[in-house]
Chain A
Amino acid sequence: MISVYYFGAIALVLIGLYGVLVKKNLMKILISLSIMETGVNLLLISVGYVSGKSAPILSEGIKWNQAVDPIPQALVLTAIVIGVATTAMALSAAILIYEKYGTLNVEEIRRLRG
């Protein structure tokens, strides 16, 4: 049986993909990208989950074998930063595009660009 975490994460990715493929508004595409990214991060986190274990911080009363897998968490931390950076850059590109073409419709932009 597919875990609900996996299902939810993959569903988020697919929703994001749908938005990227179908929506014409640039802002909506960027939102979809963010959603996809969230889905991917959730998927990564849920891969490392071990049922019933606690956070992977060595402290009183918690031994090293009682923690969940720490590697996906480190990975996701990096991925979040990269995601934010790319989103910020994409948004600034969207601003420039809007200034230049006066529209955010991708087909319209393509037509104007020639």
Chain B
Amino acid sequence: MNEIPIILFTPLLAGVLAWLINVKGVRELIGVIGAATPLAFLAKLYPTIVNNPNNPITYQMTVSGFKVTFTLGMLNWYFAAIASLVGLAMAFGMVSTSKNGYDWLFALMSYTGVLGVFLSWDFVSFFLLWELMTFASFMMVLKRNRHESLKYFVLSVIGAYAMLLAIALIYAKTGALDFDSIRQALYMDAMLGSISKGETALIFVLFLTAFGVKAGAWPLHVWAPGAYSETDQSYTTFFSGALSKAGAYGFLLLYILMGAKLYYALGTFHGHLTFAYIIAWIGAITVVVASFLAVLQEDIRKLFAYSSVGQVGYILLAFGLGTGLGFAGGLFHVLSHAVFKGLFWLVTAAIILQTGKTQFKDFGGLAEKMPFTFAMGLIAVLSLAGIPPMAGFASKWLIYEAAISAHMPLVAGAIFLGSALAFAYVVRFLYAVWFGQRPSDLEDVKEAPLPLLIAMAILAIPNIVFGIAPGLVTNYLNKALGGEVVGGNYYKLVTQTGTYNALTVALLLVVGLAIAGLIYLYGAKARRIPVTNTYQSGNPVTEEFNLSIRRNFYLPLKEALAFWLRYSFDKFYERIAQLSEDFADTLREGFYNGNVQAYSWYLAIVLVILALWGVL
């Protein structure tokens, strides 16, 4: 018995059942079991996968004349395991935040879609499940906000058509739809060159559009902030944590399928592969633009949405470096972004569930009220900002090393800038939400419900475990990439340019925290002071005075960037939409004018044209 169909379709089945039964309690139970099953089976298959790296488990079936193949190799397993981990956390989170079967149906449907994208090994099932994933996530957004869902829909449709065109072109040229044959055919063609340069470039650009939309790469990222914030926040855990990785996986697929062909057709640029160079720069621009925009947001959900876009930019950038270390860093960041950003969205879900507020200006001093959620938020903040010993540090460190050793100083600079900005926005989240004076209407906020806390714990544990023992991941990645890319043992990472010992850092951190704790316990006693006990420019402040960083903290930055902020792709797309609408209106009013004689004229002119053409 093959486990792949069970892994793939249990979530979908559970979603349908949860939607049909729709009884409180039963619905949640079915949903969680459905979400946990793929993870359980993937865990069970782990030894098989690791022991036979060159002999993946495959499953074939025939769907209306097409033979579709699903494969569970090293790389597929890695992505699928991340998706199912995040999927399980999402299911636990949704037990608390979602109260209807609709959400369960489409959340679990997109879960199946994402797993299908990661396990497919031919373009038929890849495209079908890609669309299933898009459709389900669109339905999730549609329920909350029509306008944002429309934006997501239009960009997804553009991506889908681009992908379909690219698949059609590949099929026309190679006659193959399964990845192994395509790979072989394109590898042979790299030498033969029967597919011209222009066609190869066209296929590349089409795939770039298709995967770029899903990954939220600049300039196709405009759907992401709205879609991520206007849906169930527990679902966003999956949306931003796993679904956006489908795009990143697509870029990887681009290397697997047509790397050699692209190299021979497009050549190199300053010693880098041209096509990889383009991907790297798209990633770098995404990182910088999205991070700047994230810093300026006043809405907690928008901030993390832009942050997600930026972090996926890191992954693209790392893949774009085209070196083994770049792939290792990018793949590691896929994992760490999934766990820390998933955690962030769950924390956001908890905050919004308990307070009903989303703006930074309404928050403050929640750390005392929701201590466990705060602890989880702190882990996420440390991991995102790249502070050791968290998973986020290890992956970012690998990406830095990769960018430096690939001799791309500007790209490396972009990620340094992105990291500094990431620190700026998470610090704001930390202080504005958890510390400082508490608004009076937040006095009776309670700790998040238990299922949501379990969900957070599911994602917080990998953050710490893979942070202290990054070797767990890099050893696996070494095997997946087929070489000793990152050296070291479980606690130590060794590359050509440096060494990072996570255990030492962790121990030092624990010692430091212990010292700080001792000082806190035995040092001078902490004294509580009211806000009015503070002076500002020699004047006592009033109760309403805002001493926190909650409102417009980065206003100076906003003013400094005002010139650049005028140029927004959001506005650009909206203007294009407006223009085409106006054009269609003019056309309609000009021609469809209700004058019978005008219509007679059109008819006569068409007849004359046809007659001149020789049709009549």
Contacts and interface: CB of A to CB of B under 8 A. Distances in A.
Contacts of B597: 20-22, 29, 106
A21 B594 CA distance: 14
Contacts, number: 18
B600 A106 contact: no
Given A21-B600, A21-B601, A106-B596, 15 more contacts: A17-B600, A17-B604, A20-B597, A20-B600, A21-B597, A21-B604, A22-B597, A29-B596, A29-B597, A106-B595, A106-B597, A107-B595, A110-B594, A110-B595, A113-B594
Contacts of A107: 595
Interface string A53-85: 000000000000000000000000000000000
Interface of B: 594-597, 600-601, 604
Contacts of B596: 29, 106
16 contacts: A17-B600, A17-B604, A20-B597, A20-B600, A21-B597, A21-B600, A21-B601, A22-B597, A29-B597, A106-B595, A106-B596, A106-B597, A107-B595, A110-B594, A110-B595, A113-B594
Interface string A100-114: 000000110010010
Contacts of A20: 597, 600
A27 B597 CA distance: 13
B152 to A, nearest CB: 40
Q: Is the interface of A mostly helix, strand, loop or mixed?
A: helix
A87 B604 CA distance: 20
Interface of A: 17, 20-22, 29, 106-107, 110, 113
Contacts of A113: 594
Contacts of A29: 596-597
A110 to B, nearest CB: 6
A106 B593 CA distance: 13
A114 B347 CA distance: 59
Q: Which of B594, B600, B601 has the most CB of A within 10 A?
A: B600
A96 to B, nearest CB: 15
A113 B601 CA distance: 21
Nearest to B607: A17
Contacts of A110: 594-595
Q: Which of B595, B597, B601, B604 has the most CB of A within 10 A?
A: B597
A21 B596 CA distance: 9
Contacts of B595: 106-107, 110
Contacts of B604: 17, 21
A111 to B, nearest CB: 10
Contacts of B601: 21
In the A-B complex, the 3 residue pairs with the smallest Cβ-Cβ separation, listed nearest first, are: A20-B600, A21-B600, A110-B595
A75 B486 CA distance: 86
A110 B600 CA distance: 15
A93 B525 CA distance: 97
A106 B604 CA distance: 18
A21 B603 CA distance: 10
Nearest to A14: B604
A30 to B, nearest CB: 11
A21 B602 CA distance: 10
